[in-house]
Amino acid sequence: MRRSAPFLITPDAEDYIRSRLKVMPSKAEPVIVMATELGEALDSRGGKVRRWYEGENFGICYFDPAQKPRTEQIELMGRTVSVTSEALKRLSGQTLMLRRVNTPYGLLNIPRYVLVANSTPEATAISFDTYERTKRNLSIAALTVLGGFSGMGIIWIVGAIIVQVLRVPDNKFLPLMVPLFMAGWIIGAIVSFFFFRFVFKTGGRTKFTQEQTERKYLGYGGLEADLSWWIFIGIPTPLIIALTLALEQFARTISQKTAVVFVAIMVVGVPVMYFCDRIPRRAVMRLGLLGWILTIVGGYWYFKTHGP
């Protein structure tokens, strides 16, 4: 016979549990269990585990009926949920809350989520303070400006293709570039402003829900990602330049040269982001600084040898 949950739960923790329940099979019976550490396997056999959290925590999962541990049933968020005796004992009289844990490896300092018990009632309060709102407004402004330049880039690519396809003389096309660039920037900025205002809108959302929205549109980490992008960009920059110079000799037209640059960015950038997410962040920073040194030295050598 089920009973009411003998513990409180914060809004953040509620949203997190709902997100976990959504990805479970429809016939699965959710079970709250207790653990003393969390980690992830680095190989298929699970022989190597990288631990990213140590301490008492609670998880919601499901078991094969033959392997299900002894549990008690409680009513949680309007549905029946099983809880192991050990977890129920530790949670009784406590508040189940969501804690964010930053991992010390990978490209982004992506926050992971851990359910923990806390006896402090104030821990149930969830709000976006003035600092967070200011940071989001500044992010919207910065991304709006970048979106404008992206619009200019799209106009440039489309214009280069039209010039080659229609064989428009340069003396007719070049005078139109400035108005086209301005139009592209304005359109790109407007689209970016409304899009990112929607993404960063915090009204009526818990922090967990807000972070999931940002992760959906901006990738892992969202606005809370902790990384110096200027340092990271140093990793692919010398590789992209080298690949571009190697392929540029095969390009004959403006559109082909533009395509070479995008091909080089994709060929180098995607693998770099994949592998950087699997090595320590300290190594990412060192590789980024090394990349910028190689770029500066290589640029100095190129202009010293070939001239401006």
What are the tens digits of pLDDT across the range 136-147? 788 788 888 888
Contacts of 286 (CB under 8 A, 6+ apart): none
CA–chain centroid gap for 266, Å, is: 18
For residue 116 the two structure tokens come to: 């923990």
Closest CA to 13 of 177, 125, 107: 125
Measured CA to CA, the distance from residue 139 to residue 147 in angstroms comes to 12
Under CATH, to which class is 3-124 assigned? mainly beta
Whether the predicted pLDDT of 64 surpasses 80: no
For residue 250 the two structure tokens come to: 């095969």
pLDDT reported for residue 58: 92
Percent of the chain with pLDDT over 70: 76
CB atoms within 10 A of CB 88: 18
Q: Give mean pLDDT, residues 199-227.
A: 66
Whether the predicted pLDDT of 93 surpasses 70: yes
For residue 182 the two structure tokens come to: 């301005």
**What residue ranges do the domains of the chain occupy?**
3-124, 129-201, 227-308
pLDDT reported for residue 121: 47
Percent of the chain with pLDDT over 90: 3
Whether the predicted pLDDT of 237 surpasses 70: yes
**Phi, psi for 56 (deg, rounded to 5):** -65, 130
Q: Give mean pLDDT, residues 270-293.
A: 76
> At 101, is the pLDDT very low, low, confident or very high (cuts 50, 70, 90)?
confident
Q: Give mean pLDDT, residues 155-182.
A: 75
- Angle at alpha carbon of residue 190, lines to 189 and 194, rounded to 5°: 115
Q: Say if residues 151 and 182 touch (Cβ distance below 8 Å).
A: no
- Give burial (CB, 10 Å; 0-12/13-18/19+) of 4: exposed
pLDDT reported for residue 116: 92
Cut 0.75: pTM above it: no
Question: How many residues are listed for the chain in this entry?
Answer: 308
Instruction: Give the DSSP letter string of 154-166.
Output: HHHHHHHHHHHHH
Between 89-103, 155-169, 175-189, the lowest mean confidence (pLDDT) is in 155-169
